[in-house]
Amino acid sequence: MPRKIVFFFPSFASSEATAPLGILAVATPLLRAGYAVRLIDSTITPDYKKRVLEEVKDAICLCVSLVTGPMIRETVEIARAVKEWNPDFPVILGGWHPSLLPKQTLEAEFVDVVVRGQGEETLLELVQHLENHSAIDLIPGIGFKRDGKIIFTTERPLKPLVDMPPKAYELADFDAYERLCGRRWAMYTSSLACPFNCAYCTNGGVYGRKWNALPAEQFVEETVALTRRYNLEMLWVVDDNFLVDLDRARAIGEGLVRARANFKWSIQATTNLTARLSLEDLRLLRRAGLHQICQGVDSGSPKILKLMNKTFQDFDDIYACAARCLRAGIRPSFNIIFAYPGEGRTELRQTISFIMDVCRRFPGAEFWTNIFTPYPGSPVMQRAEEIGIEVPTSLEGWADFFPRYTVLPWLKGRDHRRLQVLRDYLRIAFDRIPIAADTRDRATRIFQKMLSFPARWRLDHDFYEYPVELWLNDRLKRRTANFKPAVDAKRLEPAAAC
Ligand code: B12
Ligand code: SF4
């Protein structure tokens, strides 16, 4: 009897290539139960379709992990190919998109089971039942089809992170990820959920609002061992809000310093919680290797922040905290969402002025921008009809929901093009440091620095006609880019033309 499970991870549209943590999480109980696990990540496997079709031949099922957006394309491609080979072979989907829209996902003819929410225990039970050919009706946290009818089992209650097994990092081919991205790094989770409720965010729909975390000692022990075992230079702690418990954060800093940890790490946290860190706290965390705090500022307009349900932010605090972070040697990294419903020219200009002001006053601070994307399960989606969003009616309909090129009823055609050009100018006006290694030579860097001055002038004057600097920058990038994620390369062109 075969005891093999095949996982497929569709490419994540990012040059920040590393192992998919969701799959490493659900793989541990399977490995412990004696199953063989194959992980095929299309980002590092050019012939991924062939590989999947080979591996499924003697496996129990195919499991795919996906979020809403372009990952759906390869999911559909692979699931269809497997079903063509054997219509009875079980295809299981898990992760954010199937968790938020389980019914619609199951309506796709090539999907047999969806796993909702945390998958560690659910998938193990499911695989055991599939192996024994027993009925799966009593497994909590799944949806499946029988005789054309969709059936959902009871919800599986969320478990605190501390009760979850460690991730199966041994499945990750770190050499292959490093070859693509130029850096050897991994993700690590130390807490779940976020106590806030931003209107565009889907987190509440999957993890609820009850923040829970690993104790500081476990963080220190695991991260030190992980980075040493795989020779990793960096960890991205992907917690939604790392700083909810400040004492834990300080204890982690002290523990890492004591353990003589030798890796860089970055965190995500809200601006209000980051602002609670004193210079002393920040210096301690810096000594412990923390080099970046990613914070969702999202807009420079108080009106838009109110609509986003982000009234917990304070601009003075953001300025003061950016200064403290930089004094401590930690990079403050901010996210912005453009075109949120209700954003007009005035609000957009407020945001641009805010970005320019912060970047000029605090060199080293950086901004990453996106276009508002209405995700299933986010509070704002309850108002979809009112704000004019056409909600897709099939799994495939969500493939174009991607913040880098989302087209909205109030942002299309010329306006969409203009905003994309503006975002491109922001990219060259101020330095940003991505995770992937910087492969630019000295001449390119100097030339790009020169382009930043006209870019700043344009942003100050809201003038984006004849974007010659972008053309020049594009030529430069083509000379130096070593890896372009497949999904982006495929999709950005049509978006620019819309
Ligand atoms: C790390 C991360 C990234 C990294 C991914 C790198 C990589 N190699 O995986 C990068 C930077 C590339 C990224 C990009 C994007 N991301 Co992202 N990302 C995350 C983040 C912070 C952590 C994901 C993670 O690994 N968590 C840890 C694992 C253990 O948890 P998990 O994924 O929830 O997995 C559990 C369950 O979901 C389930 N499960 C997961 N997979 C599977 C599979 C099976 C078979 C089963 C049974 C169960 C199962 O079991 C797991 C264990 O309990 C999440 C936020 C979050 N809190 O999770 C956002 C998040 C997933 N990203 C999101 C978004 C929107 C994006 C971007 C669109 C952002 C952008 N501006 O471009 C892009 C999308 C790219 C794309 N392909 O479409 C959204 C997705 C929302 C949605 N509806 O799908 C999230 C939820 C953030 C948010 N709150 O909005 N992201
Ligand atoms: S603070 Fe971040 S994770 Fe928390 S609800 Fe808002 S967007 Fe989501």
Q: Each residue of 10-24: pLDDT tens digit? A: 987 667 889 999 999
Instruction: With beta carbons less than 8 A apart as the criterion, state whether 215 and 264 touch.
Output: no
Q: pLDDT 10s digit of each residue in the chain, 498 long?
A: 559 999 999 987 667 889 999 999 999 999 999 999 999 999 999 999 999 999 999 999 999 999 999 999 999 999 999 999 999 999 999 999 999 999 999 999 999 999 999 999 999 999 999 999 999 999 999 999 999 999 999 999 999 999 999 999 999 999 999 998 889 999 999 999 999 999 999 999 999 999 999 999 999 999 999 999 999 999 999 999 999 999 999 999 999 999 999 999 999 999 999 999 999 999 999 999 999 999 999 999 999 999 999 999 999 999 999 999 999 999 999 999 999 999 999 999 999 999 999 999 999 999 999 999 999 999 999 999 999 999 999 999 999 999 988 999 999 999 999 999 999 999 999 988 877 777 778 888 888 899 999 999 999 999 999 999 999 998 887 777 665 565 554 444 444 333
Nearest to 73 by CA among 400, 496, 403, 489: 400
Around ligand 1, the residues with Cβ closer than 6 Å are 12-14, 16, 18, 20-23, 25-26, 63, 65, 67-71, 92, 94-97, 99-100, 115, 118-120, 123, 187, 189, 201-203, 238, 240, 370, 375, 402-404
Query: What is the distance between the alpha carbons of residues 255 and 330, in angstroms, rounded to a whole number?
Result: 18
> What is the b/e burial string over 44-60, where b = at least 16 CB atoms within 10 angstroms of the residue's CB?
bbeebbebbbebbeebb
Mean pLDDT of the chain: 94
Nearest to 216 by CA among 289, 162, 260: 162
Query: What is the distance between the alpha carbons of residues 80 and 95, in angstroms, rounded to a whole number?
Result: 19
Centre of ligand 2 from the C-alpha of residue 116, in Å:
20
**The two three-digit tokens of residue 133, written as one number:** 């050919």
- Which residue from 8, 11, 21 has its CB within 8 A of the most atoms of ligand 1, so it is best to mutate? 21
Centre of ligand 1 from the C-alpha of residue 270, in Å:
18
Q: Tokens 């090539």 identify what position?
A: 110
Burial environment of residue 254 by CB neighbours within 10 A (0 to 12, 13 to 18, 19 or more): middle
**The two three-digit tokens of residue 24, written as one number:** 């490493």
Q: In the chain, what are the helix, strand and coil shares in percent, each to the nearest 5?
A: 45, 15, 35
Task: Write the pLDDT tens digit of every residue in 140-176.
Answer: 999 999 999 999 999 999 999 999 999 999 999 999 9
This prediction has a pTM of 0.95
Centre of ligand 2 from the C-alpha of residue 240, in Å:
7
For residue 119, give the ligand 1 atom closest to its CA: 50
Q: Are strands 331-338 and 290-298 parallel, antiparallel or unpaired?
A: parallel
